[in-house]
């Protein structure tokens, strides 16, 4: 009995029949798809632009306006490229190296030259792209795995397969642009030598990456799916959508399901959301062009369009919030968001996206880019609303959230409260951390990634060792560290299984607040953190209130760092500085990278000295005072002043200051207020309001009710009252908190009361 007959005996007759009919059904589907794609592929281009777009763009470049200007600029750039010899070097370098960057510039040059061919019809542009593709067709079949390969996802042209996918996303569009200018023999050479081998390398030969729900998988599926449309390979399109086995365990659709929350928040954070948007929206645009019946932009209630708006919203002063493994220089003017905003505007005509396009100052030479240019020419843009908001995490929106609290104009005070899930391998161990921005600057900062992207001299442009030993560790962030150990012991797999719980988010006039907790970051410790951004118009003051309640069954060392941007000005307590010799703060979990500059032992039993204040000056010319309530119950409390840079032989880390409030206790509640104030003008040589206006703080807790009582130096008093009960989630209860015999009624979840007509404070 042969093996086939033996296997068939093992399969029940009904199962074999179902398998047979399933195979027949798949064949019928692919045949119908092939007929549809053949009809569509007969006309090129058929990915991000079509012939109607080309006709409209050809007309637009004959008329004055933003689109013609963009065309003229790009034409000059392309012509310069045509004057240079084509170079397709043997891959040798990692990110930032010469050969790496040359292959990157090649795919961009091919793309740009191809679109110029479509707009001008001049054969020289098609010839240039053809000749470069022929060189790749001669090179690629002989390539081994890249010599500087990354073990997790190796490439051939590039050190990692991710870059290979990016190359194909651009190159297949360039090929699509010149397809009709090629002979059948030329197409065969290019396809069999370069296009098909790269697509197979990214899919069949790299199944782990291709089927992965991750931004690497997104780029790979987009590249192969778009290639399927151009080469009329419907099976490739289906595999790109539903994984190599068509089992829907991976693929583009699974990525849409799992990587975005219902609010359009991307699991790895805004930096990678920006990066992943390029393949998401580009492939989706190709799907829309070729198979509009899929209604891809309507999928999950328009999740892709929602994600574009969310990405823009998660920025400040044009730069994305640097969460997780982020590079701080990336903003809304990156090519990924330029493409995203243009495609979204082409679909929905939202005039607020024109405001973003105006800030991006880049017009794409596509049909959607033409619509953007025409809208800007007619001055149809409307301001994009940078509002406060809660952006849920997790595919069902139940894995924590990122909270953005904004006050006033887009560059006014903004607080970012990160209570999200881990964010896969790019995530940091920073549960319930925060950042603060003001007057266009980062004030309380997040380190982002320890990486010099594409600078080969720094570890080949990849992540530095300090990304693991420092940037990912909890002490590198503005959140609670217990016993000098990072959340989840720094284990990604464990961290991905847990997330904070959001208790409430509320926005009122002049008051925005949110509360979240987590009890799984440490075995014995649970902590809950509540932030409020408060605008007090009577005082022309904006302050941030931070309440962090920690509970445990036994004593621990609690460290609460504040990583600030600026120069230390003053403290209201004495510091003992290390004058001639520095020591590290610890030996592991990021502490080994901190020099201990000074130490202060805070008052333990003096009820008249209950406020520890640190004031610094930011480059924006404004002072910031962080005032922390010091417990008077005998707990050992210190303020530690540190600078980053210890155990860093290659000087990879930025030298940044921080102060750390340290408490030894079982249960403790940290209460602090951040207050922007004053002005320093070195040009005109004047200083105003360099000292804090806050004189005292007290915290009151009565069951589920809590209050922070604030007294300013002029005697004016305010009370932030909060109802933490579950009842306040669904109702608007009227609550009363009793402070020293005085009852303060307040409504709903929270209320800022004041100025108060009372002398009661202590």
Q: Which residues are catalytic?
A: 272, 426
d(CA 533, CA 542): 7
Residue 680: in which H helix or E strand, if any? strand 679-681
The SS3 assignment for 565 reads coil
Cα–Cα nearest to 93, from 158, 142, 153, 150: 158
**Structural contact between residues 474 and 429, judged by C-beta atoms closer than 8 angstroms:** yes
d(CA 196, CA 137): 10
Cα–Cα nearest to 388, from 272, 544, 505: 505
The SS3 assignment for 269 reads coil
Contacts of 285 (CB under 8 A, 6+ apart): 47, 48, 343, 368
Going along 59-218, which residue ranges are E strands? none
Q: Would you give the end-to-end CA distance of the chain in angstroms?
A: 93
**Structural contact between residues 46 and 40, judged by C-beta atoms closer than 8 angstroms:** yes
d(CA 149, CA 165): 15
CA distances from 209 to 146, 157, 235, 258, 517 (A): 17, 17, 18, 16, 34
Cα dihedral 303, 309, 310, 311 in deg (nearest 10): 110
Contacts of 759 (CB under 8 A, 6+ apart): none
CA distances from 599 to 574, 584, 630, 660 (A): 9, 13, 15, 10
Q: Count of residues for the chain?
A: 762
Structure tokens at 733: 């209860």
- Based on the number of CB atoms within 10 Å of its own CB, is 366 exposed (0-12), middle (13-18) or buried (19 or more)? buried
d(CA 365, CA 625): 49
- Helix, strand, coil tally for the chain in percent (to 5): 40, 25, 35
């Amino acid at each position: 009995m042969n093996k086939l007959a033996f296997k068939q005996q093992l399969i029940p007759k009904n199962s074999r029949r179902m398998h047979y009919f399933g195979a027949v059904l798949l064949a019928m589907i692919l045949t119908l798809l092939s007929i549809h794609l053949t009809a569509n592929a007969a006309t090129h281009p058929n990915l991000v632009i079509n012939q109607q777009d080309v006709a409209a763009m050809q007309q637009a470049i004959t008329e004055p306006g933003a689109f013609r200007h963009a065309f003229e600029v790009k034409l000059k750039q392309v012509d310069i490229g045509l004057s240079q010899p084509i170079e397709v070097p043997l891959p040798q370098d990692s990110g930032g190296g010469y050969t790496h960057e040359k292959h990157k510039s090649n795919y961009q040059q091919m793309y740009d030259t191809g679109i110029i061919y479509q707009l001008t019809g001049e054969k020289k542009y098609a010839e240039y792209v053809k000749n470069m593709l022929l060189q790749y067709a001669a090179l690629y079949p002989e390539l081994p795995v890249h010599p500087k390969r990354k073990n997790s996802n190796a490439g051939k042209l590039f050190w990692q397969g991710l870059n290979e996918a990016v190359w194909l996303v651009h190159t297949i569009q360039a090929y699509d642009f010149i397809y009709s200018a090629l002979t059948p023999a030329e197409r065969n050479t290019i396809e069999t030598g370069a296009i098909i081998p790269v697509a197979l390398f990214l899919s069949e030969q790299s199944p782990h990456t291709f089927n992965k729900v991750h931004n690497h998988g997104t780029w790979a599926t987009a590249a192969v799916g778009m290639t399927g449309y151009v080469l009329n390979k419907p099976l490739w399109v289906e595999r790109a959508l539903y994984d190599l086995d068509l089992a829907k365990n991976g693929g583009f659709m699974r990525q849409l399901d799992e990587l975005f929350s219902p609010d359009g928040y991307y699991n790895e954070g805004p930096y990678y959301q920006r990066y992943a948007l390029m393949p998401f929206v580009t492939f989706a645009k190709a799907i829309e062009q070729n198979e509009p019946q899929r209604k891809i932009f309507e999928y999950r209630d328009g999740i892709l369009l929602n994600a574009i708006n969310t990405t823009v919203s998660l920025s400040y002063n044009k730069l994305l919030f640097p969460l997780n493994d982020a590079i701080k220089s990336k903003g809304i003017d990156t090519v990924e968001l330029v493409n995203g905003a243009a495609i979204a505007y082409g679909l929905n005509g939202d005039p607020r996206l024109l405001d973003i396009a105006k800030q991006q100052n880049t017009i794409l030479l596509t049909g959607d880019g033409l619509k953007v240019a025409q809208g800007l020419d007619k001055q149809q843009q409307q301001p994009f609303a940078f509002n406060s908001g809660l952006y849920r995490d997790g595919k069902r929106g139940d894995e924590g959230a990122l909270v953005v609290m904004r006050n006033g104009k887009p560059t006014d005070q903004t607080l970012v409260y990160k209570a999200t899930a881990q964010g896969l391998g790019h995530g940091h161990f920073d549960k319930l951390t925060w950042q603060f921005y003001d007057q266009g600057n980062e004030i309380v900062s997040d380190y982002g990634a320890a990486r010099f992207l594409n600078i080969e001299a720094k570890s080949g442009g990849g992540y530095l060792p300090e990304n693991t030993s420092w940037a990912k560790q909890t002490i590198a962030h503005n959140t609670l560290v217990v016993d000098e150990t990072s959340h989840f012991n720094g284990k990604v797999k464990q961290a991905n299984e847990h997330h904070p719980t959001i208790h409430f988010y509320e926005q009122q006039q002049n008051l925005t607040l949110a509360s979240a907790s987590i009890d799984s970051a440490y075995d014995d410790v649970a902590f809950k953190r509540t932030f409020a951004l408060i605008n007090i118009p009577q005082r022309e003051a904006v302050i941030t209130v931070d309440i962090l309640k920690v509970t445990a069954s036994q004593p621990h060392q609690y460290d609460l760092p504040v990583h600030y941007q600026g120069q230390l000005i003053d403290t209201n307590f004495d510091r003992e500085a290390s004058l001639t010799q520095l020591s590290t703060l610890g030996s592991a979990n990021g502490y080994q990278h901190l020099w201990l500059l000074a130490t202060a032992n805070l008052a333990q039993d003096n009820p008249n000295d209950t406020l520890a204040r640190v004031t610094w000056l930011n480059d924006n010319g404004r002072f910031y005072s962080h005032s922390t309530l010091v417990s008077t119950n005998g707990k050992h409390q210190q303020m530690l002043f540190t600078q980053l840079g210890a155990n860093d032989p290659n000087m990879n880390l930025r030298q940044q200051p921080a102060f750390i409030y340290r408490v030894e206790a079982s249960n403790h509640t940290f209460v602090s207020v951040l207050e922007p104030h004053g002005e320093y003008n070195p040009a005109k040589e004047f200083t105003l309001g360099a000292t804090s206006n806050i004189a005292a703080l007290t915290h009151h807790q009565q069951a589920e009710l809590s209050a922070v009582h604030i007294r300013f130096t002029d005697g004016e008093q305010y009370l932030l009252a909060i109802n933490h009960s579950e009842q306040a989630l669904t109702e608007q209860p009227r609550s009363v908190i009793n402070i020293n015999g005085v009852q303060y009624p307040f409504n709903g979840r929270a209320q800022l009361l004041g100025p108060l007509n009372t002398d009661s404070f202590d």
